[in-house]
Amino acid sequence: MTRTTHEQLARRLRDAYSRGPVSPLRDGLDPLDADGAYAVQMINNRYWEAQGRRMVGRKAGLTAKAVQAQLGVDQPDFGVLFADMEIADGGRLDPHRVLQPKAEAEIAFVLGADLPDPDTSPEQAAAAVKTVHAAIEIVDSRIADWKITFADTVADNGSSAFFVLAETGRPLDGIDLEGAAMTMRFNNETVSTGVGAAALGNPLNAAAWLARTLAGRGEPLKAGDVLLAGALGPMVALKAGDNVRASIDGIGEVGFAYAEVSEA
């Protein structure tokens, strides 16, 4: 039986944005096929850039040990952030733009220097950080019913869709990243809590892993890039009308509304 090609899988995922979720990619990717999955992701990255989309950063995913165990892997993954994926702090996300979205609160970094070293340490990553921000990632699998394996989510850009970055960032100095407590609320009701240590023990560990991995692939992180360091607590499904707000102690607050954008 002919195996589905990476190009065909990439096209299938792109089509899902407008046609609806697709079945898991078992016909072309084994569940733990990292190389194949990143090849599919890269095909789509190049496609989107050719369409005029601009890359502004990266997201780290699967940074919580419990989630890694759930998918049977021992490593995080990554995806791309494009400029048109950013929602302004306090802005709106129209439900028509997503399929089966969930929100998760994260710590984000904006870099002030490049990170080209394939042996980047957490200390080097810290030295490159310009500002730290509270952030929310809206994840949205193009795989039906979120029935994902490691390969599915990697191929599908780390199941990423949109992100919200707190308008105001803080210098890294003096922030307790590991101990930073997170609370995410939907409509003023607490739906998720966590702590900075959930992201590989410290969000800087996630940033260093990302820097090492991308430098090794010849795609180093650069000054100005936005880095989402991974969820600090459980992701929560969105429903139309939700007002989402996340606060992270010592870092700040960020939020958005999951509602149709009214016509001017």
Q: Average pLDDT in the 187-205 region?
A: 97
Question: pTM value?
Answer: 0.95
Question: Which of residues 72 and 63 earns the better pLDDT score?
Answer: 63
Reduce the secondary structure of 189-223 to three states and give it as a string. EEEEEEEHHHCCCCHHHHHHHHHHHHHHCCCCECC
Residue 141 in domain: yes
219-236 confidence digits (pLDDT tens)? 999 999 999 999 999 999
pLDDT at 66: 73
Amino acid identity at 230: G
Residue 180: which CATH number? 3.90.850.10
Residue 1 in domain: no
Residue 207 has phi, psi (to 5 degrees) of -65, -40
Residue 238 in domain: yes
d(CA 198, CA 232): 5
Q: Answer yes or no: is pLDDT of 264 > 50.
A: no
Taken in order 160, 149, 197, 120, is the CA torsion positive or negative?
negative
Give the range of the structural domain holding residue 234, as residue numbers without chain letter: 6-258
Residue 207 in domain: yes
Continuous segment of H or E residues that includes residue 106: strand 101-111
Beta bridge partners of 128: none
Residue 181 in domain: yes
Mean pLDDT, the chain, rounded, equals 95
pLDDT at 2: 63
Give how far the C-alpha of residue 152 lies from the chain's centroid of Cα atoms, to the nearest Å: 15
d(CA 133, CA 101): 22
Residue 263 in domain: no
Residue 36 in domain: yes
Residue 264 in domain: no
Q: Answer yes or no: is pLDDT of 71 > 80.
A: no
Number of domains in the chain: 1
Q: Average pLDDT in the 106-111 region?
A: 98
pLDDT at 150: 93
d(CA 155, CA 25): 9
